[in-house]
Amino acid sequence: MAQNQSKAVKYTFSGHESFHCRQMWLKKGFDHLKQHRSFNDPDATVLLGVGKNMLTSIKFWLKSFGLLNEDETPNAFADFLFDNNGFDPYLEDDQSLWLLHYYLIKTNFSSIYSLIFNEFRKEKIQFTKDQFIAFALRKMEQVNIKTVADDFDVFKKMYLEKSEDGKLSEDSFTGLLSELQLLRTKEKGVYYIDQGERPTLSPEVLLYSILDNDRYGYSISLQSLEHDEDGPGNVFALTRQELLDKIEMLTSSYPWITYNDQAGVKEIQFKEKPSNPLNVLDLSICK
């Protein structure tokens, strides 16, 4: 796995073995670990029904989606989502996909996702693979061009609704996050992040992303929510109006949340905060 250091920011590429995350891989990997097994067990490939490279990829995606503790055991978010009595073990709810998308960017274990959503798409509204590679070369002193190119190909497969050539193959199955409709094609080889309405994004998932962000206190400016690294505006590619609409829904539903728009001050304010941000999801999202 290639790692590059620039201005105290660690960028990590590769590790997925050129496989985008399949629909059931996270649940399979979670169940395997909850049985007190390891991906290093001699019979792990047999138990999971995958080859050695796919096994490595499953472990990589569990880490990339922020589902593991440092000792590679499932964390609280993984339990919330994938436990047999969890919110959505088989990822049938769009809210689960939005949460995984948020964690993929926030965790930054696979840096391409954070780079594209937080930075690159602002520089290039429409972009090609070569343009992203050039961007990565400017960000990092040493980077393997082929490694970054492979990451970009996996990124496409993760988010595009269908393969660009229209052909079906084992490698072109629909990506895990394609239903979010975040990545679009202008023409073959030209892509853009669709910044528009998000009818499938619940206000509670947006709220969770704010409460879970260590940078945010009890008063947060609208500008910060729009433009901060890992803020909801960047992560979910929201317009200002869409962000305001979600905030209005939150203030209508939760008396401990207010929005102030007076004397040039635009900010969301919390009178209190849940001790565990996951409680917002557990109590508010209905399947």
pTM for this prediction: 0.93
Contact criterion met (CB below 8 Å) for 183 and 193:
yes
pLDDT at 6: 39
For residue 132, being part of any structural domain is answered with: yes
pLDDT in tens, the chain (287 residues): 554 443 346 788 889 999 999 989 999 999 999 999 999 999 999 999 999 999 999 999 999 999 999 999 999 999 999 998 999 999 999 999 999 999 999 999 999 999 999 999 999 999 999 999 999 999 887 788 999 999 999 999 999 986 665 554 455 557 899 999 999 998 899 999 999 889 999 999 999 999 999 999 999 999 999 999 999 999 999 999 999 999 999 999 999 999 999 888 899 999 999 999 999 997 555 44
Q: Are residues 213 and 174 in the same domain?
A: no
Residue 76, H or E segment:
helix 76-82
Residue 59, H or E segment:
helix 52-64
Domain residue limits at 190: 110-194
Q: Are residues 186 and 260 in the same domain?
A: no
| DSSP helix/strand/coil, 185 | strand
Q: Of 93, 126, 158, which closes a domain?
A: 93
Q: Of 162, 194, 226, which closes a domain?
A: 194
Contact criterion met (CB below 8 Å) for 79 and 86:
yes
For residue 78, being part of any structural domain is answered with: yes
Please report where in the chains the tokens 């879970």 appear, as a residue: 212
For residue 104, being part of any structural domain is answered with: no
Question: What tokens were used for 109?
Answer: 């274990």
Q: Are residues 123 and 150 in the same domain?
A: yes
Contact criterion met (CB below 8 Å) for 81 and 88:
yes
Q: Are residues 190 and 208 in the same domain?
A: no
For residue 3, being part of any structural domain is answered with: no
- Quick one: 199 exposed, middle or buried, by C-beta within 10 A (0-12, 13-18, 19+)? exposed
CA distances, 284 to each of 210, 243, 250 (Å): 15, 19, 11
Q: Of 174, 194, 214, which closes a domain?
A: 194
Residue 9, H or E segment:
strand 9-13
- The b-or-e profile of 31-62 (16+ CB within 10 A means b, else e) is bbbeeeeebeeeebeeebebeeebbbbbbbbb
pLDDT at 5: 42
**DSSP one-letter string for 114-156:** HHIIIIIHHH-SEE-HHHHHHHHHHH-SS--HHHHHHHHHHHH
For residue 233, being part of any structural domain is answered with: yes
Phi (first) and psi of residue 28, to 5 degrees: -60, -50
For residue 2, being part of any structural domain is answered with: no
Q: Are residues 80 and 118 in the same domain?
A: no
Q: Are residues 115 and 152 in the same domain?
A: yes
Q: How many domains does the chain have?
A: 3
Contact criterion met (CB below 8 Å) for 17 and 54:
yes
Q: Are residues 210 and 270 in the same domain?
A: yes
Pairing state of beta strands 219-221 and 126-127?
Answer: unpaired
Question: What tokens were used for 200?
Answer: 């499938």
- Quick one: 187 exposed, middle or buried, by C-beta within 10 A (0-12, 13-18, 19+)? exposed
For residue 54, being part of any structural domain is answered with: yes
For residue 1, being part of any structural domain is answered with: no
